[in-house]
Each structure stands twice: as C-alpha cells, then as structure tokens.
Structure 1
Amino acid sequence: MFILLTVAIAPGLALFSYFYLRNEMKTEPGKTLLQSFVYGAAITFPILFIQYVLTEEVVFTNPFVQHVLFTSVLEEFFKWFLLYLAIYHHVEFDDPYDGILYGASISLGFATVENVLYLLSYGVDTAFMRALLPVSSHALFGVVMGYYLGKSKFTKRTKKYLWLAFLAPVLLHIVYNGILMLEDAWLYVMIPFMLFLWTFALRKVKMAHAHLIIHLYDQNKL
C-alpha cells in the first residue's frame, strides 16, 4: 500500500516542484500553496460523485458528450471556480507568476487524488502511463489556467483573461479527452498533442516570469 501511494503521489510532487523552482525571483508562501493543493484534492470527490450519478442515470446517451465535453467542462470549472473563489483575491496572490503556481497546485491536488484512486483500482502497472498523461496534462491545464488568471488580476483586461482562464483549459482538456476516444490510433495523436501542450504551457511559464520581472520593477523591488 505504501509503495502504491508513493508511486501515485510522486508524479504530482515532481511536477509541482519543477514549476515552483522555475520561480527564481521570490518564494511563495507554502501554506497558501498547500491550501490550494488540498482544495484541488477535495473537489475530486464531488466531481466523481456527479460523474457517477449521471452515468448511473444514463443522462448522456452519446459517449463523446459525456466523456469528452461534459467531463472536460466539469473538471475545469471546479478548478477555475475554486481558484477564483479562494485564491484570486487572496493577499498572497501578489504577482503574475503566482497564478502559475496556484493553478498547477490545485490541478495537481485533483490529479493526485484521482491517480491514487485509479492505481488502487488497477494497480501500479499503469503508473508510468498515468504520470506521463493524466497527471502531467492536468498540471499543464492548471498552468494555462493560472497564467490567464494572473493576467486577469494584473492587467486592465480583467474579464477577458478571467474567461480565458476557464475556456483555454477547457478547450485543451476537450482535445485531450477526444484523443483518448480514438481507440487504436489514440497514441499516435496523443504524442504530438502532449508535445504541443508542454511547449504551450512552458511558453506561458516563460511569459509569466517576464511579467513578474516587470511587476517587481514597477513595485521598485528590483
């Protein structure tokens, strides 16, 4: 059991450490980051409950609508809503790069609990593929969400970027889930998509870091 939990949790911690260490300018309070991780972990259960009820009640007759459109919107909405409700106005959210960290943290909280539950059901044989795909994709969706959330808070186009913080991860998630529906051909499409997703998200990290430097300069902290 201990080995299984370690394998399930390790990818999330590794990815979060990567994005945390990319912030070379300042240290973010660990307590607030832990809170956002816990929020992400907590929403796993209502999301799974909603998905279970809708499946049992056969609300959706089209698998694409259920597993691609609805699941993507549901998961990203919960993450976006909690980020906005609990983190967006928090005093510790005080620079553009913070959005990256909080977005990654809440997404990895969700992905880690989901990963634990999945490995408990199907065993550690799937751990490597889970780390490469679901865990890392959730982290990258969170990075994109957090980037636009930071843009929303620290630019004048608040509503535009607030909507992008929700819609951009939803679109990426829909594409990801849609690829999984391709059956035998899914892996051939997933590899270039994941390369694109990493490139896209890391570009947002780089841009957020540049915004942070400008922000600190404007605040006379550099």
Structure 2
Amino acid sequence: MIALIGAAVAPGIAILSYFYLRDSLEPEPISMVIRSFIFGMLLVVPIMVLQYIMQNEWNWRDGIVAEVFQSAVVEEFFKWMVIYFTVYKHLEFDEPYDGIVYAVAVSLGFATLENLFYLIINGTNIAIWRAFLPVSSHALFAVWMGYYLGRAKFSKDAKHERLFLWMSITLPIGLHALYNLIFLAVQNWLVVIVPFMLILWWQGLKKVQRAHDFGSKNLSSRPQ
C-alpha cells in the first residue's frame, strides 16, 4: 500500500517542485502552495459526482460529449474557479509567474488524488504511463491557465484583464479536450500523443520564461 501511495503521489510532487523552484523572483509561501494543492485534491469527489450525474442522469454517454464536457470543461472550469476565488485577489499573488505556481498546485492536487484512485483500481503497473501522460498533462494545462491569469492580474486596463481571464479558462479547456479526443479518435494514439506532449512541454516552458520576463519588468517598475 505504501508503494502504491508513493507511486501515485510522487509524480505530482516532483512536477510541482520543479515549477515552484523555477520561481526565482519572489518565491511563494510554501503554506499557500500546499493549501492550493489541497484545494485541488478536494475537487476530485464533487467533480466525480457531477460527472456521474452527467453520464447517468443526463444520459451524456456520447464519447465526444463525455470527453469534452464531462472531462475537459468540468475539470478545468472548477480548477479555474478555485484559483480565481482563493488566490487571484490575494496579496501573495504579486508577480505574473505566481499564477503558474498556484494553477499548477491546484491542478496537481486534483491529478494526484485522481491518480491514487486509478492506481488503487488498476494497480501500479500503469503508474509510469499515468505519470508521463495524465498527471503531467494536468500540470501543463495549468501552465497555460496560470500564465494568462498572471497576465490578467497585472493588466493595465479592464479590457485586457477580461481578455486574459477569458483565455485563462478557454485555452486549458481546449487543450484538455484535444488531449482527450486524441485517445478517443486516433487508433494509433501513441504516434500523436507523444509529439502533442512534447509541444505542450515546449510551449509550457516558453510560458514560464515569458512570465518571468513580465515579472522582472513589473518588479523594476515598482516604486523603490
């Protein structure tokens, strides 16, 4: 059981540590990051209940509907709501990269508990696959979400803030839906999912660097 828990938790902790340690400007209080991680874990059960209702009570059993709405829309929307209402207005969110840190923390909290449930049901033989695909994909969708939340937070006018907030929810939903549809619609999905994940990592790391660049400009413009 200890090995199973370790296999479920380790990928999320490792990826979160990576993004947390990339915050070279003003690292976030570890208590805030842990809190966000726990909030993400707490989302798992209500989301599973809602997905069960959609599938069994609303008869949303079609593959495309299930993958787009029950998975991508529901999961990313609730993660976004948690970040927006618990972190976005917080004083500790004081540089653009913070959006990435907190979004990744919430998403990996969700992915870690979900991963534990999957391993309990299916065994540790799928642990490596789960770490490289579902867990890391949740983190990478969160990078996009957090990047645009950071841009919104430090926008100079309300119009741009609304635009970036909209992008912070629609782009992760779109990426998550595309990720799910690859498994649903592509017979030899491995040929497609590997380059897709590589592109996600490449673009995600570019977002990390851009967030740092915006953060450096923001710090340099503050009154001394």
Shorter-chain TM band: over 0.9
Segments of 5+ residues of structure 2 without an aligned counterpart are none
CA contact (8 A) 2:51 2:70 kept: no
Counterpart-to-counterpart distance in 2, 1:211 and 1:44: 33
Counterpart-to-counterpart distance in 2, 1:139 and 1:32: 17
What letter is aligned with 1:3?
A: A
What letter is aligned with 1:162?
A: L
**What corresponds to 2:30 in structure 1?**
30
Deviation at 1:180, TM superposition (A): 1.2
Deviation at 1:168, TM superposition (A): 0.6
Q: Which moved more, 1:156-165 or 1:49-58?
A: 49-58
Q: 1:192 pairs with 195, 198, 214, which one?
A: 195
Counterpart-to-counterpart distance in 2, 1:27 and 1:54: 40
TM-score if structure 2 supplies the norm length? 0.95
Aligned residues: 221
Is 1:160 the counterpart of 2:176? The answer is no
Is 1:212 the counterpart of 2:222? The answer is no
TM-score if structure 1 supplies the norm length? 0.96
Deviations 1:95-137 (A, max 9, x none): 1110010010000000000000000000000000000000000
What secondary structure does 2:23 align onto?
coil
Deviations 1:27-64 (A, max 9, x none): 21011111111111101111111112222235214211
Task: Give me the identity figure in percent.
Answer: 45
Deviations 1:156-211 (A, max 9, x none): 31100000000010010010000011353111110111011111111100100111
Counterpart-to-counterpart distance in 2, 1:155 and 1:59: 42
What letter is aligned with 2:209?
A: K
What letter is aligned with 2:185?
A: L
CA contact (8 A) 2:97 2:215 kept: yes
Runs of 4+ aligned residues of structure 1 deviating over 3 Å after TM superposition are: none
**What corresponds to 1:99 in structure 2?**
99
